[in-house]
Structure 1
Amino acid sequence: MQMDGLTALAGLIVGVLVGVTGVGGGSLMTPILVLMFGWAPQTAVGTDLLYAAITKVFGTAVHHNHGTVDWQVVRRLALGSLPAAALTLAWMHYSEAARVKDGFIISAVGVMLLITALGIFLKDWLHGLGKHLRVTNTEKFKHLQPPLTVVTGMVLGVLVTLTSIGAGALGTVLLLYLYPLRLNASKLVGTDLAHAIPLTLIAGLGHLTLGNVNFTLLLNLLIGSVPGVLVGAVISTRAPLALIRYAIGAVLAAVALKMLTL
């Protein structure tokens, strides 16, 4: 393996952000690999998925030790996301229509980044809306929580498998709407990280069979990301995150516009 200091540094920075906010595994790393390091989009997506799966194991361990993972919510999400990821991979394997070109992947990533940025900026509004519904229609809202969580998982399963983006940023936004009183900031990050592990692992292994994973790149990213996510996860259990979240949203929007104009 050839050591690449810049790639490891990118892994470190994104690892810290993933640990602190739950965001960045795909929404930051995939554009970085494509725009800054010149990797082919399909290789960036496939390698990033396995990178995210391994990195988030360490972040989840820290959150689990602090009691900031809601495993019931994780199970509900996985019930939808894992079958959806498997079906998406099967489509990518066997459908000629799924043999997408680099340009399509870049456009898809750009669109997902815009949606993710919008979700980040609307996060407080969605939280307020969810809290209002939870308080004014308590029984109905609680009855709908489990099936809506499964549907949320299905949506994330498809999007993450295709673009590597969505497990962190969109996942936390949707969970904040669905569980406005149950999940505080730290528990939101921990739960989202825990759910992302099996989802990104299945999607990443599927991309591996398609030849979309570069192991030298993967190992260089992990050299930086593993210590980064451990530090970030500790910070997230005790720090206000609003400023970081909005900064990430602005960066994602700028990167999205860049990718859509390539």
Structure 2
Amino acid sequence: MAIEWLAAYLVLGAFVGFFAGLLGVGGGGIMVPMLITLFAAQGFPAEQLVHLALGTSMAAIVLTSIASLRAHHRHGAVRWEIVRGVTPGVLLGTFSGTFFATRADSSSLALFFACFMVYVSLQMVLNIKPKPARELPGRVGLFATGSVIGGISSLVAIGGGTLSVPFMTWCNVRMQEAIGTSAAIGLPIALAGAAGYLLNGWHSQGLPTGSIGYVYLPALLLISLVSTFTAPFGARMAHRLPVPTLKKIFAGVLLLLSAKMLHTVLGG
């Protein structure tokens, strides 16, 4: 692998880890369009670009989620009873979603991803926070919620924060606890998603050297190496930096990256 690809994956990992800790997001919104661009530049098969990006992103979120949830747990911001309630549904929804994603064509996945990123960006720019209107549901309700969050997360390779944080806020969970708990929920999402993309791509033909299923190992290792260190730093900076302003900048970056991804997939 050329030195410029090594550097690109390391920089991507640093950026992803920092914002995962700062904003409670898994980083897939950045990783997927960037990986698609990098994979295309490396000459990977066009029909597998999105699947490889989704699978690699999901796998990379595993270590990022661990680092982020540990940092939030040290601040006492993880509601573990919520994590236990939604995890079974999250595992089922995420793993099942990968089977649908790997059977969809790259163009459809790219369009769905871009539309979802528009929703995420508007949520950040407008600072949309649902008003607390009810209490947390029971075991069945948490299972169903986890299934929906996991299913959507598997299609866009996110840790679920853009869905789980508003849900918990709506259910009278304090924002700091919602973000910390979302970081913990991101771990089972990432594990189930990575396993699903690895399994579904196991017998795919023409995958680039260094891939296991739809997970490209060189990118995974380099991104994870750096993001593990920058995620706790981002979590600490959440208490010091102007997060609302950073969210608006982050939203703009997501939109630009999504537009670039669509150009690469649809225009390539």
Does the TM-score normalized on the shorter chain lie above 0.5?
yes
Distance 2:261 2:251 in 1: 15
> Which secondary structure state, in structure 2, belongs to the residue aligned with residue 223 of structure 1?
helix
Query: SS state of the match for residue 69, structure 1?
Result: coil
From 166, 174, 177, give the equivalent of 1:173. 166
Q: Which moved more, 1:231-240 or 1:16-25?
A: 231-240
1:237 CA drift (Å)? 4.6
- Secondary structure of the 2:28 match is coil
Partner residue of 1:111 out of 112, 115, 123: 115
Identify the residue that residue 247 of structure 1 maps to in structure 2: 249
Contact in 1 for aligned 2:30/2:254 (Cα 8 Å):
yes
The 2-side partners of 1:252 and 1:64 are apart by 28
Aligned to 1:157: 150
Q: Is the 8 A contact 2:36 2:50 kept in 1?
A: yes
Structure 1: which amino acid aligns with 2:36?
Answer: V
CA contact (8 A) 2:25 2:158 kept: no
Distance 1:144-1:189 versus aligned 2 partners, 3 A rule: closer
Instruction: Specify the alignment match of 1:10 in structure 2.
Output: 12
Q: Secondary structure at the match of 2:29?
A: coil
Q: Percent identity?
A: 26
Alpha-carbon distance in 2 for matches of 1:253, 1:224: 24
More helix by share: 1
Aligned length: 243
Matching of residues 116-131 of structure 1 within 5 Å:
116-124=120-128, 126-127=129-130, 130-131=131-132
Residue from 88, 92, 97 that aligns with 1:83: 92
Cα distance, 1:166–1:67 mapped onto 2, change above 3 Å:
closer
Q: Cα distance, 1:64 vs. partner?
A: 1.0
The list of structure 1 runs, each at least 4 consecutive aligned residues, that deviate by more than 4 angstroms after superposition, is 143-149, 237-240
Let me know the Cα RMSD of the aligned residues. Answer: 2.5
| Whole-Å separation in 2 of the counterparts to 1:116 and 1:165 | 11
8 Å CA contact retained: 1:25, 1:168:
no
2:189 equivalent to 1:189: no
- Determine the C-alpha separation between the residues in 2 that align with 1:59 and 1:146: 26
3-state SS in 2 of match to 1:81: helix
- Amino acid of the residue matched to residue 74 of structure 1? V
Residues in 1 aligned to 2:167 and 2:262: alpha-carbon distance in whole angstroms? 25
Matched letter for residue 67 of structure 1: G
SS of the counterpart of 2:76?
coil
Report the Cα offset of residue 80 of structure 1.
2.4
Alignment partner of 1:198 out of 182, 188, 194: 188
Distance 2:58 2:15 in 1: 17
Structure 2, gaps ≥5 residues long: 202-212
Partner of 1:234: 236
